[in-house]
Structure 1
């Protein structure tokens, strides 16, 4: 796990990457050859362009609202909601206001 996370005390995950004006901020929470867990904050109007997930992925909305574009359809995502992508699923993320989320993604073995 990321060594900057507090140990043996409660903390608020969404506050570890505060929203910054005009930016997307991310922090790897943990990564290994088969799995990646990332915390991300998006300022209003920022986003990730459409791309394909290398493996299955699960998004966790932590704060604010964002738009998840998946296979050509937009979905409004709020804090407390989740969204699952299939491996190879085309998706994008856009913040229509400040938005913080985590992404848990399986990483297929490299041949």
Structure 2
């Protein structure tokens, strides 16, 4: 992941990442010791398998629809919605349609 975002410039996150047919694209916006902010796009049907993370992570949906499971409980999220995935609880993601999100993870 390369940081290609200029500081002090207006960003349109929704148009800052393209879809890749049948794939997943990620672009790191900020990477630092306290945490990371990463922009993702998922083609319909793509996702992230169930896993855990040692820190809370917030997903902000920028485009499309996805199912996010947290501790086995499914949530359907669409553009404009946000969910916080708690630390050390399993979670997974599946793009119901083409889907873009901003992932913010803060360590601590």
Superposition TM-score, scaled by structure 1 size = 0.88
Query: What is the aligned partner in structure 1 of residue 42 from structure 2?
Result: 42
Match of residue 16 from structure 1 = 16
Distance in 2 between the 1:8 and 1:27 partners?
18
After superposition, the Cα gap between the structure-2 partners of 1:47 and 1:3, relative to the gap in structure 1 and judged at 3 Å, is: closer
* Root mean square deviation of aligned Cα: 1.6
Instruction: Tell me how far apart the structure 1 counterparts of residues 7 and 84 of structure 2 sit (CA, whole Å).
Output: 29
* Structure 2 residue matching 1:14: 3-state secondary structure: helix
State the shift of 1:86 in Å: 1.2
User: What is aligned with 1:90?
Assistant: 90
Aligned residues: 107
CA distance in 1, matches of 2:52, 2:8: 37
1:30 aligned partner = 30
Helix, strand or coil for the counterpart of 1:39?
strand
Equivalent residues of 2:27, 2:38 under 8 A apart: yes
Give, in angstroms, the shift of residue 5 of structure 1.
2.3
- The alpha-carbon deviation at position 81 of structure 1 amounts to 0.3
In structure 1, the gaps of 5 or more residues are none
Where do 4+ consecutive residues of structure 1 move more than 4 Å?
A: 6-9
